Structures are given as C-alpha cells and as structure tokens.
C-alpha cells in the first residue's frame, strides 16, 4: 500500500513539474517610442531556432524560457534572455531608413505604412533631433505638402496642401491630436508649436481628410508622445545655448518595471530674440505612464502643462523689412505687446481586448487655456476649459472568407470659452511704461461643442489588393452669451449658431505590385468649421447664411523601397477642390467679417526620396530630397466688388525643395546638412505683391562618447541660415495700412545663428 502511495505521489510530482515546465510565457511586442503594438514580429529561440510570430495585437506565447531574438522589418533587432514566466513587454526601436515598414495607427487599424491607401508622412524623433530642438518648423518644412511659416517662436501658421493659408494669425482648418487628445479648439484653431520637442516620439501627418480624425479639410497631425520604457530606469539631461540669448535646459526621467512605466520631461527655454520686443520664456512638463494589468487590459495616462510668456514684435512694412529687419512694429514696441499663456491637457486611455476579434479603446480627456494678451488696439483676456471623450471598437472578421478589419467610434468635445477685451492706455503714460489695462470693452461667454461619429473598414480583396472605405458624421454648434451692457455702439450679440450636419465619406484602394512597392488611390471629403467670430455681423446679429468650407480630395500615389532596400520613395499627385471659400473682410484693426466668396482648386505633386549611399559598420551616408509643386488658384472668387477668379492662392509658395545628407562615422560622429529652396508666393488676393524666393541652409554635427555601460555623453554644434539669407519667414496676407502707414506684410526670418550643447544620459 505504501509502495502504491509513493508511486502515485511521485507521479503527481512529475506531472506538476512537467506542467510547470510547460507553462506558457505570454507577452506583447511594442514600438518602443510610440507604444503601438507590432504585429507579425518574429521571435526566434536561439537554442533550437524555432520561430513564433506575434498576432495582430502584437501578442505572443512561448513554451519555455531561454534566449530569444525579436525581429521585425523596419525595427532594430533585440536579443533577450527570458528567465521567468511573467508577462513580458518587449519594445523595439524604429529604423528611419525603413519607413515603409514602420507600424502606424493613423487609421486606428495598425499596419505598415506601405499598406495604407493614403498619403502619410512620418517625422521621427531622430528627424526632430537633426535640428536645434527649439522650433518644429525645420522638421515640418522638410515634409512634402506641409509648409510652416514662423514669424517668431510663438507666431506660426501651418498649412497642408494650401489649406489654412488664409488664416491670418495662426493655424486653422487642420485637425491635430496629442495621442488621443484633441488639440484643435471648437472653432477649428490649432496650436502645436508650444509642445516640448524632446517629448515627441513621432509626428504622423495625413494629407487629405481623415474620417477618424474629424475630416479636417487640410488633413490631420497626430503627435505621438515619447512612450515610457519598461524594465529600465534612466535620466537624460540636456543643455543648449545659442545666438540671441538662447538657453534651454531639459531633463527626461524614465522608470519602468515589467508591467509599469513612467516618464517625466521638464524643459525651460529662454531667448532674447533677434528682433525688438522679442523676449521668449517657456516652461513645460510632460508626463506619460503605462500600466499593463494582463494580456487583455492596459491603461495609460498623459499630461502636459505649458507656461509661456512671449513678447510680440509683429509684422513690419517693406521698407523696414529691407533696411531694419530687427525692428518691431512701432505700436507693438510702444505698447510692449506680449502673450502670457498657461495651458494644460490631461487624459487617460483604456485598452481592453474583449476577445481575439474585438477590442475597445476608450479615452477621456480635459484641457484648459488661460491667456492674457496686451495688443496696441486693446487687451484680450481668455479662459477656456474643455472636456471630452473618444471611444472606438476595433474588429477583425471575415467576409467571403477574406479579412475585414473595421473600426467604429465616436468623439464628443465640449469647451466653455470666456473672453473679454479692455482698453489699452499705453499712450496715456510715459514712453517705456508699456501696456496699461483700462475699461472693459467686451465680455463674452461661449459654449462650443461638436460630435464626430466615424466608421472605417479595410477589406483584403487578395493578398496584394485592399479596399478601404469610411464615413464621418459631424454635428457642431455654438452658443454665445454677450454679457456686456448693450448700447448703440455695442449691440447685444447673444445667439446660437448650428451647422448643418455634415457627412464626409472616404474610399481608397491600395495594390502591392511587389513586396516593397505599392500603388494607391483615394477620394475623401472634408470640411472646415466656422469660428463664431466669423459669423458676427456689425449690427450684432449672427450670420446664419454662412456655410463651412467643404472639399473633395482626389489623389494617386506610390511608395516603396528599391535597389535592395537602399532607396525609399513616396510620390503623390492630387487635386483638392474647395467650395464656399471663407473670406475674412477686415473692418478695423481687430474686427473681421466672414463671407463665403467662391472656391479654389489645389493641384499638386509631392515627392520624398531617401537613398543610402553607404551603410556599413564604419560609415553611414544617406542623401534625401523632398519636393512640393503647388498650383493653387482661385477658381471662382468674388470678394465684394472685386473679382479675383483665376489668381493664385494667397500665402502659399509655388514650390519647395529640400536637399540634404546625413552621415555617421563609427557610431560616434554624426553630421547633417540641409538645403531648402522656397519659391515666391502672392501676399495679396489681386496678386499685385509677391515675396521673393529664397534659399536656406542648416548644418549640425554631434559627437557621442560612451563613458561606460551606464553613462553616455553627446555634444553638438549647429548653424542655421548658413549663408545669412535675408528672407520673410512669415507673411500677413492682405495687410492694410491704417492712418496713412504702409501695409505690414513681413515677418523677417532670423539671420545666421549658432547653437551648441551637451546631452548626458545615465542608465541606472
């Protein structure tokens, strides 16, 4: 009997150890910077060369511990010794030279760039670091189809395929997101330049309306913050100094365990500026954390706070631009005009895998902005609080035995905006006093809200051909409460404005000619919301006859890699037709009336080429070229009594060319040089005034020195505007002179300037 019991005990122990030895090791492979899951990555057991692959969500299972090699085309290889059966989070870093293989999720259905039926550009963290990490314009302007004018660090305007060029003082008609948090306000205005560049992992730009991101007429910009790293802790500190009193400090701290990671980035940037009244101070804090509970559920938090005070030199007339470009506009200098802004945004995203074919992603976010801006004509005070949520279902199914991927979701956004203006009494005080707040001139409380419902599908007709189709439904409304006592000169402007509901469809086809070459075509519809200010008439009424700008985008493109993957290219040809063109007619220094005045036709070609000349262990040399050709015209444009039909679209250069070279020697020395040509552009709707074409060159070198396994130093030096070109970095279209003064069209660009710095990275 004892013998039988001993035998049974021994058998149970063997089974238990056997079961323990066969316990599955589960985990997920992610893009190390963005946090996107990487599907179809190979995992090789180096002891027996057995291979498994991650699924569509980047998840994998291993049957035993050991040393494994994680690989995915477009990413660096990673070898890891897995010694326990805990849930594993594996992060891979992208290879910028294999962009067509990089996983993106601009369409919320993660796939490689080469399989997307839309024109999408990726600006990586490495691309941003090639510049002086102070102004994002340098990185954006290397991207075909994008043009960012930068009158100062706090004065910018971004256009995509010409959309947004008619906005006078900032970026509009382009949707932007910081991960899942909208950056575009309820009136369609967007500000991305204040974010700390060191906190950004990628910028994904979709040209043409995206059904999943509000169908903005120009397209969408999705900023992906740096993801926190798992299973490591490090601190990175950088200090930069440069021309015009530039000084920047940045500290980047990361701490990660096997399932939880946290990143905090602090920066402080100061510049005296090239021009008068150009002082700039900005502090930022960016927080990012990730928490993986199990293979089905994870949670992430994101927060950003920006405190900015920047003085405003404004635009100047042609005589000053030529003879005294460092001068500020006289009234802005006398009033010491500036903006003082605090802004923050916070959000949480929960990912839950309901089953192998269905996933739900839910995001809740809030943001605030408080601004005080003394201008020569008045002082503006604003306070905005926004709240919203975004959810979507992601599904994987079969239709006629072919894969069908789909996403269905909604986004609701509400913001409460309070604004008021006050007299600026700077002329009543001794010169040098600056702005002085006087009596209140206006007092508004505005409620703005929109709702987007979206659906997008991808259907594989065959292994080489896929169809995509989607639709976005938008409902937008404004409510204005004019709280200023009405009078003959200040009528009550309270009222409600509602858009007609807008349906924006999309259809696309992509065909893979070979493993590395694909062709695509798509048709999409987009629109631009009207700001409430544009609907207000001088008599205090709301113009309910205004229509939002709408348009159809038609494009044909190809992307791929040739010559044994040494050459990457992306080319697109498109036509964008915009109807109900919205014109801002200026009635005073700070008063505009909106009017629909016709439509425009945007024809263009975009080309992006990267070629690796040399790629070995000692030397790496890559050359690149991007080219944008714009043929944008007013197809039918009657503004009041003026007929501008057939004229060129205002504020967009005819062509932009970038040529450059990146080099790396022994992984220690790195250098980059970039040449940019910008063609002339019309400044007035009647095309009587054009800017001059100009050429810029930027240069940077760096040296990296590993001190030991945990400490690495990097020193860098750069020159912007190498040949000291005199150019207009931004223009104010259709500027008017008041009181007999000349129109102030021009924002002078910085002359030749230098910067240098050091970066210290310590791994605990």
Beta bridge partners of 282: 269, 308
Sorted by where each begins, the domain ranges of the chain are: 2-93, 221-763
Quote the pLDDT of residue 109. 56
Beta-carbon contacts of residue 96 (< 8 Å; ≥ 6 apart): 124, 126, 127
Same fold, 2-93 and 221-763: no
SS3 assignment, position 484? coil
Quote the pLDDT of residue 24. 79
For 510, 599, 639, the CA distances from 645, given in Å and listed in that order, are 36, 9, 10
Quote the pLDDT of residue 273. 95
Residue 448 and residue 414 in contact, taking contact as beta carbons nearer than 8 Å: yes
Quote the pLDDT of residue 14. 47
Quote the pLDDT of residue 5. 46
Query: Contacts by 662-668 with C-beta closer than 8 Å and gap 24+?
Result: 662/130, 662/620, 662/621, 662/622, 662/623, 662/624, 663/619, 663/620, 663/621, 663/622, 664/619, 664/620, 665/618, 665/619, 665/620, 666/618, 666/619, 667/704, 668/703, 668/704, 668/705
Residue of 247, 252, 219 lying closest to 237 (CA atoms): 252
Quote the pLDDT of residue 144. 95
Q: What would the DSSP string read from start to end of 548-559? A: -EEEEEEEEEEE
| pLDDT tens-place string over residues 557-603 | 999 888 888 899 999 999 999 998 877 665 555 555 677 778 899 99
Distance CA 469, CA 400 (A): 17
Q: What would the DSSP string read from start to end of 355-409? A: ETTEEEEEEEEEEEEEEEEE-SS-EEEEEEEEEEEEEEEEEEEEETTEEEEEEEE
Class for the domain spanning 2-93: mainly beta
- Around Cβ 48, how many Cβ atoms within 10 Å? 9
Parallel/antiparallel/unpaired status of strands 181-182 and 582-588: unpaired
Quote the pLDDT of residue 261. 92
Tell me how far apart the terminal alpha carbons of the chain are, to the nearest angstrom: 58
Quote the pLDDT of residue 13. 44
- pTM tops 0.75: yes
For 504, 520, 575, 616, 675, the CA distances from 510, given in Å and listed in that order, are 20, 4, 18, 34, 33
Distance CA 46, CA 59 (A): 20
Q: Give the chain's residues under pLDDT 50.
A: 1-5, 7-22, 107
Residue of 355, 248, 352 lying closest to 293 (CA atoms): 352
Q: What would the DSSP string read from start to end of 596-639? A: E-EEEEEEEEEEEEEEEEEESSSEEEEEEEEEEEEEEEEEEEEE
Quote the pLDDT of residue 99. 62
The separation between CA 634 and the C-alpha centre of its own chain, rounded to angstroms, equals 28
Distance CA 165, CA 683 (A): 10
SS3 content of the chain, % helix, strand, coil (to 5): 10, 60, 35
| pLDDT tens-place string over residues 601-615 | 999 999 999 999 998
Distance CA 402, CA 748 (A): 57
Tokens coding 455: 């659906």
Quote the pLDDT of residue 704. 93
Quote the pLDDT of residue 60. 92
The separation between CA 565 and the C-alpha centre of its own chain, rounded to angstroms, equals 28
Four-point Cα dihedral 267, 270, 275, 276, nearest 10: 130
Residue 501 and residue 474 in contact, taking contact as beta carbons nearer than 8 Å: yes
SS3 assignment, position 139? helix
Quote the pLDDT of residue 182. 87
Quote the pLDDT of residue 638. 83
Quote the pLDDT of residue 143. 93
Distance CA 448, CA 414 (A): 6
Tokens 């700039």, located at residue: 280
Distance CA 567, CA 564 (A): 8
Residue 411 and residue 392 in contact, taking contact as beta carbons nearer than 8 Å: no
Quote the pLDDT of residue 103. 66
Distance CA 719, CA 700 (A): 6
CATH 2.40.170.20 fits 221-763, yes or no: yes
Beta-carbon contacts of residue 740 (< 8 Å; ≥ 6 apart): none
């Amino acid at each position: 009997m004892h013998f039988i019991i001993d035998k049974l005990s021994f058998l149970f122990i063997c089974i238990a150890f056997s079961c323990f030895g066969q316990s599955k090791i589960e985990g997920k492979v992610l893009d190390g910077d963005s946090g996107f899951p990487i599907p179809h990555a190979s995992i090789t057991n180096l002891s027996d060369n057995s291979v498994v692959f991650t699924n569509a969500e980047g998840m994998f299972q291993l049957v035993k511990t050991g040393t494994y090699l994680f690989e995915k085309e477009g990413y660096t290889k990673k070898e890891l010794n897995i010694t326990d059966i805990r849930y594993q989070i594996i992060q891979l870093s992208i290879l910028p030279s294999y962009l067509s293989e990089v996983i993106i999720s601009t369409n919320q259905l993660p796939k490689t760039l080469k399989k997307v039926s839309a024109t999408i550009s990726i600006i990586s963290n490495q691309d941003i670091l090639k510049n002086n990490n102070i102004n994002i314009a340098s990185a954006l302007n290397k991207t075909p189809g994008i043009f960012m004018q930068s009158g100062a660090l706090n004065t910018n305007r971004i256009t995509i395929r010409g959309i947004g060029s008619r906005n006078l003082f900032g970026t509009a008609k382009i949707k932007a997101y910081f991960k899942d948090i909208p950056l575009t306000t309820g009136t369609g205005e967007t500000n991305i330049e204040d974010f700390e560049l060191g906190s950004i992992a990628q910028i994904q730009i979709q040209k043409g309306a995206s059904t999943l991101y509000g169908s903005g007429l120009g397209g969408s910009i999705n900023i992906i913050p740096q993801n926190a790293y798992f299973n490591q802790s490090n601190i990175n500190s950088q200090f930069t100094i440069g021309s015009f009193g530039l000084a920047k400090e940045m500290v980047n701290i990361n701490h990660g365990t096997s399932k939880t990671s946290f990143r905090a980035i602090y920066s402080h940037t100061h510049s005296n500026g090239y021009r008068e009244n150009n002082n700039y101070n900005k502090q930022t804090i960016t927080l990012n954390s990730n928490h993986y509970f199990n293979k089905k559920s994870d949670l992430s938090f994101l927060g950003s706070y920006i405190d900015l005070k920047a003085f405003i030199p404004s635009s100047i007339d042609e005589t000053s631009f030529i003879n005294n470009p460092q001068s500020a506009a006289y009234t802005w200098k006398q009033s010491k005009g500036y903006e003082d802004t605090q802004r923050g945004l916070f959000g949480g995203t929960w990912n839950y895998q309901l089953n192998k074919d269905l996933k739900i992603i839910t995001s809740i976010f809030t943001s605030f902005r408080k601004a005080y801006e003394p201008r020569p004509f008045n002082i503006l005070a604003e306070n905005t609080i926004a709240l919203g949520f975004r959810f979507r279902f992601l599904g994987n199914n079969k239709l006629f035995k072919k894969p069908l991927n789909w996403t269905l979701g909604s986004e609701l956004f509400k913001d409460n905006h309070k604004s008021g203006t006050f007299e600026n009494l700077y002329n009543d005080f001794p010169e040098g006093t600056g702005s002085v707040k006087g009596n209140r001139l206006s007092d508004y409380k505005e409620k703005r809200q929109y709702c987007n419902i979206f659906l997008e599908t991808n259907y594989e007709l065959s292994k080489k051909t896929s169809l995509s189709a989607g639709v976005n439904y938008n409902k937008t409304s404004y409510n204005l409460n004019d709280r200023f006592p009405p009078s003959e000169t200040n009528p009550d402007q309270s009222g409600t404005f509602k858009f007609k509901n807008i349906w924006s469809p999309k259809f696309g086809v992509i065909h893979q000619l070979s493993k590395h070459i694909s062709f695509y075509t798509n048709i999409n519809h987009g629109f631009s919301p009207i700001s409430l200010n544009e609907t207000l008439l001088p008599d205090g009424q709301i113009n309910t006859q205004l229509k939002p700008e709408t348009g159809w985008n038609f494009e044909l493109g190809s992307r791929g890699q040739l010559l044994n993957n040494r050459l990457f290219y992306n080319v697109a040809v498109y036509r964008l037709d915009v109807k109900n063109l919205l014109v801002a007619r200026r009635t005073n220094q700070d008063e505009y009336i909106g009017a629909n005045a016709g439509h425009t036709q945007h024809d263009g070609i975009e080309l992006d080429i990267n070629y690796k000349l040399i790629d070995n262990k000692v030397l790496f040399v890559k050359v690149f070229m991007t080219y944008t050709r714009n043929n944008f015209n007013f197809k039918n444009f009657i503004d009041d009594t003026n007929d501008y039909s057939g004229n060129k679209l205002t504020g967009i250069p005819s062509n932009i060319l970038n040529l450059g070279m990146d080099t790396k020697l022994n992984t220690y020395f790195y250098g980059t040089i970039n040449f940019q040509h910008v063609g002339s552009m019309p400044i007035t709707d009647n095309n009587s005034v054009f800017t001059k074409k100009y050429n810029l060159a930027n240069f940077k070198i760096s040296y990296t020195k590993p001190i030991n396994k945990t400490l690495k130093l990097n020193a860098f030096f750069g020159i912007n505007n190498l040949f000291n070109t005199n150019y207009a970095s931004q223009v104010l279209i259709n500027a008017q002179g008041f009181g007999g003064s000349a129109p102030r069209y021009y924002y002078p660009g910085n002359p030749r300037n230098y910067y240098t710095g050091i970066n210290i990275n310590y791994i605990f």
